[in-house]
Amino acid sequence: MLKKLFKRIKRNPSLEKTKAQEEIALTDTLDLGEENDVIEEYNIENEEEVIKKEVIEVVEKEELDKEEIIISDELELDQVIDDKEYINHVKIIREKSIKAIDVYTEEEQLFKTHKECSKKLKVPLGYIKENLKYRYTDYFGEAINFLSKELNLNDIEKNEFSYLDGNKTPSELFNMLNNKIFTANISEDKRDEILSNNKIEPIKMHYKFECIDEEYDVYFEKYKSIIRRGGKKKIELVNKKGEVIDVFKSLDDCAQYLHKEKNEVVEMLKLGEVKYGRNEIRYSLRNI
């Protein structure tokens, strides 16, 4: 009886089907587990790649920011240097307050003007200008002007100080003129005369100078943005009280009113020497 029952159970297709389904489910579960492991591993790898990319982007951005800061700092430094050179250039032309320093004793003296300094210290005005611009302690101006005249090269120098406005430094110009002594179309007697003159040598000096002229520092700081740019510039005519008498929409209009050339008005405003009779002109800070 038991044997028959066992055979019946064994032959029961529903039981066999259930068993097969269990095996398939087990296989599917195993396969799904393996698939989940693969997906999880892929997700981890993908997440690592994303993190790496984000890290690289952050590093690159930081490097780029550093470069931009460096470039910005360099531009600002260049601007500062340009401003200092421009201010020094203008102060040399203005010939206002100045400090003289003895290079041996370091003694300092203050003077209200370059001319006063030249007179008191008995040094050429040209030397003061040379030292302020090029920091030389040799004075080349006298030799340059002498050689230019003797070699008939006066077209090089329009006035006593114009050699300072050229592309060549005084030492370069001096060397060029010395070479011309031997190549210029002049007689031997003239050449010997030039060579025997003590004016062909630079003069040794023992002073160095610094521009003070704080008045211009204030002026430049106030009008810097207008001075250093091109384009139209409004000009105001003001009285002693600072009250605006008239406003000119351009330098041309102002020059016409003042009966001056435009470049004269530009120079007045550039140097801050803006007196016109009992009044004065100034850059307008109002929008055009």
pLDDT along the chain (288 residues), means of 10: 46 51 54 54 61 59 48 46 90 97 97 97 96 95 93 69 88 94 92 94 96 96 88 92 93 94 94 94 83
Q: How far apart are CA 237 and CA 278, in angstroms?
A: 11
* Contact assessment for residue 169 and residue 134, using Cβ atoms and an 8 Å cutoff: yes
Q: Are strands 138-139 and 279-283 parallel, antiparallel or unpaired?
A: unpaired
Residues 230-283, CATH architecture: Orthogonal Bundle (1.10)
Q: How far apart are CA 198 and CA 206, in angstroms?
A: 19
Q: pLDDT value at position 68?
A: 46
Contacts 24+ apart (CB under 8 A), 169-177: 169/134, 170/130, 170/134, 170/136, 170/140, 170/141, 170/144, 171/134, 171/136, 171/138, 171/140, 173/140, 173/144, 174/140, 174/143, 174/144, 174/147, 174/202, 177/143, 177/144, 177/147, 177/148, 177/151, 177/153
Q: How far apart are CA 286 and CA 279, in angstroms?
A: 19
Domain ranges of the chain: 15-92, 98-211, 230-283
Q: Could you give the residue ranges of the DSSP H alpha helices within 184-250?
A: 188-195, 214-227
Tokens of 141: 């101006």
The size of the chain, in residues, is 288
Q: pLDDT value at position 82?
A: 86
Q: pLDDT value at position 232?
A: 85
Q: How far apart are CA 204 and CA 138, in angstroms?
A: 5
Q: pLDDT value at position 132?
A: 96
* Contact assessment for residue 173 and residue 133, using Cβ atoms and an 8 Å cutoff: no
Q: Kindly tell me the burial class for residue 25, based on how many C-beta atoms sit within 10 Å of its own C-beta (0-12, 13-18, 19 or more).
A: exposed
Question: Which amino acid makes up residue 225?
Answer: S
Question: Which amino acid makes up residue 136?
Answer: Y
**CB count in 10 Å sphere of residue 202:** 19
Distances (CA, A) of 256 to 227, 262, 268: 20, 8, 14
Q: pLDDT value at position 112?
A: 97
